[in-house]
Amino acid sequence: MFTSPLNIAFVVMAGAITGAFGAILGTGGGVFLIPLLVLGLGVPMHYAVATSIVSIIATSSAVASANVERGTANMRLGMTLEVATSIGAIIGGISAGWIAASVLEGFFGLVLVPTAMLMWRGKESGVEAADQIGPLKQTGPPVPPPDGGQVMGALDGSYFDEAERRVVAYRVRRLGAGWAISFVAGAVSGLLGIGGGVFKVPALHLFCDVPIKAAAATSNFMIGVTAAASAFLYYGRGEVRPALTAATVIGVVAGSALGSALNRRLRGAHVQKVFAVLLVAVAMQMLYRACFAGSG
């Protein structure tokens, strides 16, 4: 399965491509990696899922460190939602053995189609929302509220958008919706080995009013913890294959560095459009697998 230099090169390259996409889109790249490993290299599905989960940790750690430095990732919001994603990921990881993945994959595909449409037609970059809350325009970290203030206020954020050449400030709204979708994202991540960014980025952007770049960065920040919450379960079952996973991770880290550099030059609206197309592609893949191919 994984002995020839050609296979190793393929795995490293697959990791690099998915790592680059993950960094740009905040998805973690698992939605591309698993089909590449299973269909391209014949890796058994459960090993591919485990490999994907560990490589997601690598992507998140590498990209999140850059996003934290730039202030794009909202750490307070991310940590608050990590409670939900971690619970979901543990439940998903435990359930992996006794829930038909094809049922969830079909549901996943159905949910993604309207989400992609909303994403395509949604706010251009979140800058509009920031413009409407002028007093929040500032540099530096968000100012926490006085004692007794609303939790939501403490979760507000701001960052410098290099493409727009301006500070973008935003107010986080509808935290409950973000929490609920983060839980679902964690459960799907634990079950299918994807980062869950396909749920979290649109949810943060469309429901919580977080600008798309901050949503992608915060999602990427969270993805590492989400993946770690289920990775130990896969590791304990012996499904994390050291050599295969190591080659994938090396490629993913290299690719995510490239993707992170590209992300700095892309405008928010472009990222949003690309993400909408990605969602449609993943939805088709999931629906096809659920209807015709089974879960492997």
- Residue 228 near residue 54 (C-beta atoms within 8 A): no
Q: Measured from the CB atom, is 69 or 121 closer to other proteins?
A: 69
Does 140 interact with other proteins (rule: CB under 8 A)? yes
Degrees to nearest 5, angle at CA 110 with 279 and 229: 70
Alpha-carbon dihedral 235, 23, 268, 197, rounded to 10 degrees: -10
What residues does 158 pair with on adjacent strands? 169
From start to end of the chain, where are the E strands? 157-161, 166-170
Tokens standing for 221? 């920040």
| Of the residues 35, 41, 61, 174, which one makes contact with other proteins according to CB under 8 A | 61
| Min dist. Cβ of residue 88 to other proteins (A) | 10
Is 263 a binding residue for other proteins by CB under 8 A? The answer is no
Q: Does 41 bind other proteins (CB under 8 A)?
A: no
Closer of 111 and 250 to other proteins (Cβ): 250
Which of 206, 250, 271, 290 contacts other proteins by CB under 8 A?
Answer: 250
Work out the burial of residue 196: count CB atoms within 10 Å of its CB; fewer than 13 is exposed, 13-18 middle, 19 or more buried.
buried
Task: Assess 170 for contact with other proteins (CB under 8 A).
Answer: no
The least distance separating other proteins from the CB of residue 174, rounded to whole angstroms, comes to: 18
Number of residues that bind other proteins (CB under 8 A): 55
Query: 122 vs 153, which CB is nearer to other proteins?
Result: 153
> With the CA atoms of 286, 85, 222 and 155 taken in that order, what torsion angle do they form, in degrees rounded to the nearest 10?
130
Token pair 């191919």 is at which residue? Answer: 293
By CB under 8 A, is residue 97 in contact with other proteins? no
124: its two tokens = 């251009």
Max CA-CA distance within the chain? 62
236 is a site residue for other proteins (CB under 8 A): yes
72 binds other proteins (CB under 8 A): no
Between 132 and 139, whose beta carbon lies closer to other proteins? 139
Query: Binding of other proteins at residue 237 (CB under 8 A)?
Result: yes
Is the distance from CB of 129 to CB of 170 less than 8 angstroms? Answer: yes
Residue 75 or 281: the one with the smaller Cβ distance to other proteins is: 75
- CA distances to 68, 142, 154, 210 from 71, rounded to whole Å, are 5, 10, 15, 14
**Positions in the binding site for other proteins (CB under 8 A):** 2, 8, 54, 57-58, 60-62, 64-65, 68-69, 71, 75-76, 79-80, 82-83, 86-87, 89-90, 93-94, 140-141, 143-144, 151, 154, 224-225, 227-238, 240-243, 245-247, 249-250, 253
